[in-house]
Chains A and B, each alone.
Chain A
Amino acid sequence: QVQLVESGGGVVQPGGSLRLSCAASGFTFSKYGIHWVRQAPGKGLEWVSFIQYDGSNKDYADSVKGRFTISRDNSKNTLYLQMNSLRAEDTAVYYCAKDASSYGTGLYYMDVWGKGTTVTVSS
C-alpha cells in the first residue's frame, strides 16, 4: 500500500546538524511533490518545506529558510531534509507527506503521511 517512512531523527545539540530521510513505497514517487511538516510537542502543525516531483522547485517556511535543505532521489524513492544550525525551537516530530496532485498540477494538500520521526534539540 501507499507508505511513507521517516527516519534519521534523534537528539542533537543546538547548532548541530541532522539529516532526515523519507522512504516511499506503493506509488510512483517521481510523479509527486512531497512536503515536510512538523509538530512541536503539544502544539499544532507547521509546514516546513516542499519539493516538486522532479526537484525543480523547492520552498521553505521562513523559520527554516537558509538552515534546512530539501532534496530527493527519485531513483531511490527517497526524500531528504538536511537540517543545519539547529535550534531548540526545531524540536518536533517531523512528518513527510505526499502532495495530493501529480506532476506539479499544484493541489498542495497532503493526502498521505508518514508516522513521523522525532527531532530533539537540546544540550
Chain B
Amino acid sequence: EVVLTQSPATLSLSPGERATLSCRASQSVSSYLAWYLQKPGQAPRLLIYDASNRATGIPARFSGSGSGTDFTLTISSLEPEDFAVYYCQQRSNWPLTFGGGTKVEIK
C-alpha cells in the first residue's frame, strides 16, 4: 500500500500569511493526488485533484503542485476559514490511502 506522509503535523500561522503543506508518497503516484480540508465536526471537502486542479468552487488562493512522490498544497494568503486540518489522498494504487493530516492553526 502507498503510505502518504504529511508534514508538518501542525503549522502555526497568522491570517494573511502563506501556508505551504507537504505530502510525500512511499512510491510514485504520478499526479494522482488530491487534497481535502476538514473543519472540526464537519466532513472533508475536496480542494485539489490530480495534484493541481482546483475542485469546483475552490478559491484561487489554493494551489497544488508536484508529481511522483512529492506534493505541495499552497494557500497564498490565509483566510480565517482556512484554519483546519488538511489531508492528501492518492488514487494511483489500491487501496486508496490518505495522509495523516496537517493541522493549520492560528498563531
Report which A residues bind B (CB closer than 8 A).
35, 37, 44-47, 50, 59-62, 95, 97, 100, 107-111, 113-116
Contacts and interface: CB of A to CB of B under 8 A. Distances in A.
A109 B91 contact: yes
A48 to B, nearest CB: 9
Interface residues on B, range: 20 to 34
A113 B47 CA distance: 13
The 7 closest A-B pairs by CB, nearest first: A113-B43, A108-B91, A47-B96, A45-B98, A109-B34, A109-B49, A44-B101
A78 to B, nearest CB: 18
Interface of chain B, main secondary structure: loop
Contact of A100 (B1, B45, B49, B98): B49
A49 to B, nearest CB: 9
9 contacts: A37-B44, A45-B36, A46-B98, A47-B98, A100-B46, A108-B91, A110-B46, A111-B56, A115-B43
B98 A44 contact: yes
Which of B49, B96, B101 has the most A CB atoms < 10 Å from its CB?
B96
B97 interface: yes
B83 interface: no
Given A47-B98, A109-B91, A114 B43 contact: yes
A3 to B, nearest CB: 11
Contacts of B96: 35, 47, 50, 108
B89 interface: yes
